[in-house]
Amino acid sequence: MGQTLTRFALLGFGWLSLFLGFVGIFLPLLPTTPFLLLASACFMRGSPKIANWLLQHPHFGPIIDNWQRNRAIDRRIKRRANVFIVLSFALSIALVPALWHKLMLLTMAVVLLIWFNRLREIEPVARAPENT
């Protein structure tokens, strides 16, 4: 009974994280990658079949695989993420009227960019077939 409840909770959190990660593709300030990694972790413990499906996904799979194997992010994805982080925060800062909101968003952007850019990068060449 306890294992079944744990499995359902993990599946529920996994699907919720996957949904939030998908929504994060389109909404600024909602991060996609952390939700995908959380979904993958939940599915690995709750349903290896769904975890495998997510790992085989053509767009999300390589991101998760790089993180699981190397604790690193592909350089191209990191560059793209930096651009979208800056654009989404710039848009948000431009739209909010209060100065303290602008300062808070600017502080959040700086902290996020510092943390994110400190993550290790993996060279795209490392995944080339001749290197594996």
Q: Where do the structural domains in the chain lie, given as residue ranges?
A: 1-71, 72-123
Query: What are 76's two structure tokens?
Result: 């191209």
* Whole-number Å distance between alpha carbons of 71 and 68: 6
**Alpha-carbon span 107 to 53, nearest angstrom:** 37
Q: How would you write the pLDDT of the chain (132 residues) with one tens digit per residue?
A: 678 899 999 999 999 999 988 888 887 667 787 888 889 999 999 999 999 999 999 988 888 888 888 888 888 888 888 888 898 889 889 999 999 999 999 999 999 899 889 988 887 654 555 444
pTM of the model: 0.67
